[in-house]
Amino acid sequence: MQLMIYLLLFLSSIINSALSVIVAHFEPSAITDTSLVIRMVNAHNVSSFDMSVQIFDLDRLFEYRRTELKGSTKDQLFSFDGLTPNTWFAFRIHYHLHYEEPSSYSAAHSVDRTKQELVIKTKNSTRDDPSRIDSTVAIIDDLFVSRDNIYIGVSTAFKDSKKVMTVVVTELKCSKGDLKPMSQQITHHASFHFDLNLLGDTDKTCSKVCVFPYVRVSIHNRTSETFRAKEWCGGLDEAKKLVVTASTLPISSLQNIPLLIISLFVSRNFIQ
C-alpha cells in the first residue's frame, strides 16, 4: 500500500510539472510575518478565474481558514492576512479558469477545476525581507558523483517535527533516459542512489536532477492530508552556485538557501 502511495506521488510530480508549464497557476510574490501575497502567472489567455482556498497551519495541525475569491485580471494580487508569524502554512487552491479565446487545450480543460498547493513559512518579524520566500522543504545536504554512481542526501525542514512527514521523489535526467530511485519518507535524512550503469556502457551524460517533496500531516478532526511542496530542478552549473560550507553560514541563514549542498565531487559524466 505504501509503495502504491509513493508511486502515485511520483506520477503526480511528473504530471504537475508538465502542466505548470502550460497552465496558468499561482506564485508567491511576498511573504511577511502575518500575510502572503500571490499572483497568477502563465495567464496569457485567461480573462477571469474563480478560486477557493484552504489554509492549513502545519505547526498546530488544523485548518486555519477557508475562503473563496474571484479574479478579473491576470495582474491581480491576492493577499491572505492574519497569519501566525514564524509558522509553516499549506495553501490548497482550487481554481477554474475562463479563457478569452479558447485554444484546443483550454477548451478541453475549461470546465475542470485545477488544484495547486503552496507550502510556505511566514517571517519571524516585520524586519525580514518580504521578497525572500521560504518554501524550501527538501534540502540537499550531500552529493557524491563518481563514474558509475550518484548519491544525493536529502534532509527536511520538518526534521524537528514528529507529526509532519516529508516524502521525497527524485529524478535524474540523462541523455539515455531518466533514473528514478524509490521514493522515501524522510525523518531526518535520506540518501538516494542513481546507478548510472543502468544507462548502458556508452553515454552516461546526465544534465539535470529534480527533487519533488510532499508533506503529509494528520489534521485535527479529519484524515491525513498530503501537500505538494515546491520542487527544485537544476543542472550541475546551477548546483555548483549553491555549494557552501556549513561553517561559513550562521544556522539562521540556511533556510534561505533553496538547496544546501555540503559536499560535491564532480565527475565528467555529470557534465552536460
pLDDT of residue 237: 66
Read off the pLDDT of residues 54-76 as tens digits, 9 standing for 90 and up. 999 999 999 999 999 988 766 78
- Binned at pLDDT 50, 70 and 90, residue 29 comes out as very high
pLDDT of residue 240: 60
- Does residue 153 come out as left (phi exceeding 0), alpha (psi in the -120 to 50 range) or beta? beta
Instruction: Report pTM.
Output: 0.78
> Which tops the pLDDT comparison, 30 or 10?
30
- Binned at pLDDT 50, 70 and 90, residue 119 comes out as very high
pLDDT of residue 182: 95
Which structural domains are found in the chain, ordered by start? 2-121 (2.60.40.10), 138-270 (2.60.40)
Percent of the chain scoring above 70 in pLDDT: 73
Q: Can you tell me the distance from the alpha carbon of 78 to that of 75, in angstroms, rounded to the nearest whole number?
A: 10
Would you say 233 and 208 are in contact if contact means Cβ atoms under 8 Å apart? yes
Q: Which residues are CB-contacts of 187 (< 8 A; sequence separation ≥ 6)?
A: 156, 159, 165
Question: Across residues 101-115, what is the average pLDDT?
Answer: 61
pLDDT of residue 256: 43
Read off the pLDDT of residues 129-156 as tens digits, 9 standing for 90 and up. 999 999 999 888 777 888 888 888 888 9
The sign of the torsion formed by the CA atoms of 93, 98, 103, 104 equals: positive
